[in-house]
Amino acid sequence: MFKYTVLAAALAVSFSTPGVAAAASDTELGEIRDQIRVMKESYEARLQALELRLQQAQAVAANAVAPAAAPAPVDARAANPAAASNIFNPNVALVLGGTMSRLSHSPADFRLQGFLPSGGEVGPGKRGFSLGESELTLSANIDPRFAGQLTFALSGENEAAVEEAFVQTRALANGVNVRAGRFLSSVGYLNSQHAHTWDFVDAPLAYQAFFGGQYKADGVQAKWLAPTDQFVELGMEVSAGGGFPGNERNKNGVGATSLFAHVGDDIGASSSYRAGVSYLHTGATERAIDDLSSFSGKSSMWIADAIYKWAPNGNSTVSNFKLQGEYFRNKESGSLDVADAGAAAYRSAQSGWYLQGVYQFMPNWRTGLRYDRLSSGRRDLDGELTLANVPILDAYAPSRASLMFDYSPSEFSRLRLQLARDKTRPGVVDKQIFLQYIMSLGTHAAHAF
């Protein structure tokens, strides 16, 4: 506590002295922030170790003073409830969501024309009232070296799935962090964020076409944060490759590999940015397209992403603006098999992008505009099949424009209205209206930049 007091006093003197504040450059401020972060992480790790030792000592002491005539040994947890309550005490966060949808065309007819369907979380969802995906997250520090998180996704169809379940390091040197288990991949920008943090009701069309919603990895992720004033992050993931565009292949070893690099920095006192590039290589064996066809082969995908944020003098409570976009380019090569029609070698090169802007025009109120577009690009078949045998691959450029308004009474609740014109099928304009609520209960980790 003495060290914390000295640190707090030193910081108070430094930042309350006008001359020092005026003379401090952006570089010096960045160095001070880095030093504070390092000191905080170091003291947190030491405190965790001391707390663990204290709990163990209390449990031993409780057993040592148990009465000799007692019919059974005294449980340390019963003898010391305060110690017992900290043995397993994770942060618990619950997110509840629901939607009311009005669609001018049946969602059963939805398709991304020109693209092999994923069978994942694509389309506008069902009409009328529906319970959205709820999330239950448990997270805690395991010890000074490891932390863990488990997130369940609970659907409105009474299905439960493990969205994330991983352990990660807390005290590796030189800016390295390792995560193992199931996690939302860090490729791109939006993919690593849970759906309740998105600025629109649904995922961009590019995510639906190339990831089937979101790309999850079962494997190991390593990140390196460079010791520079500018944010520089490099990372790599190796995984089983079971998520779309791959599939479960009963394969030993690595099934998918991804690489990513992100850079970012402040632009003056009011703006900041982050930009990145990612690469994903995976494969599939008889990946189902529908009941009568399948694809086997390799997929190589590049993603470029960028986000710009503005808030007057860094104060985002009154007003702020965010502009973000991503570009996808995916190449697939392998074989396409259609029952009763034959098989053929298949090669494709397809792309898609989205751009969105969100503006908070007054406290608690925001509006946003998003435009999505896909290009079916090159689709080549060489063999018994022709494009006429696979009508879903007829050339097209699906697009969609979405307008949203949302109101957040607090940081734990949000109400949203979204209007969209969906042109994912030739000759069809699906006019969509969504009303959504998102409510957060319990503690919740800070959202990514």
- What is the C-alpha separation between 108 and 207, in angstroms, rounded? 19
372-416 confidence digits (pLDDT tens):
999 999 999 988 888 888 888 999 999 999 999 999 999 899 999
- Same domain for 218 and 352, yes or no, is yes
Q: Are 244 and 282 in contact (CB under 8 A)?
A: no
pLDDT tens readout for residues 99-145: 999 999 999 889 899 998 876 778 898 899 998 888 999 999 988 89
Whether 216 and 76 map to the same domain: the answer is: no
pTM: 0.79
Together in a domain, 45 and 152: no
In terms of domains, do 395 and 309 share one? yes
Q: Of the candidates 307, 296, 290, which has an alpha carbon nearest to the alpha carbon of residue 335?
A: 296
Do 229 and 119 lie in one domain? The reply is yes
Cα 401 to Cα 430: distance, rounded to the nearest angstrom: 11
Query: Residue 108: what are its φ and ψ, rounded to 5°?
Result: -65, -20
Same-domain check for residues 256 and 277: yes
Q: Is residue 447 in some structural domain?
A: no
Among candidate residues 167, 201, 162, 193, the one with its CA nearest the CA of residue 181: 167
State the CB neighbour count (10 A cutoff) for residue 250.
Answer: 6
Same domain, 364 and 220: yes
Residue 364 — very low, low, confident or very high, per pLDDT cuts 50/70/90? very high
Question: pLDDT at residue 290 above 60?
Answer: yes
Is there a single domain that holds both residue 204 and residue 310? Answer: yes
CATH number of the CATH domain containing 182:
2.40.160.10
Domain limit, last residue, from 25, 50, 85:
85
Most confident of 5-19, 271-285, 289-303: 271-285
Residues 161 and 296 in one domain: yes
Domain endpoint, select from 64, 85, 106 = 85
Domain assignment of residue 277, given as a range: 93-442
171 shares a domain with 43: no
Based on the fold, state whether residues 63 and 117 are members of the same structural domain.
Answer: no
> Angle at which helices 26-64 and 2-16 pack, to 10 degrees?
160
Distance separating alpha carbons of residues 229 and 29, to the nearest angstrom: 9
Same domain, 124 and 64: no
pLDDT of residue 96 exceeding 70, the answer is yes
User: Which residue, 85, 112, 136, sits at the end of a domain?
Assistant: 85
Question: Can you tell me the mean pLDDT for 336-349?
Answer: 90
Provide the number of structural domains found in the chain. 2
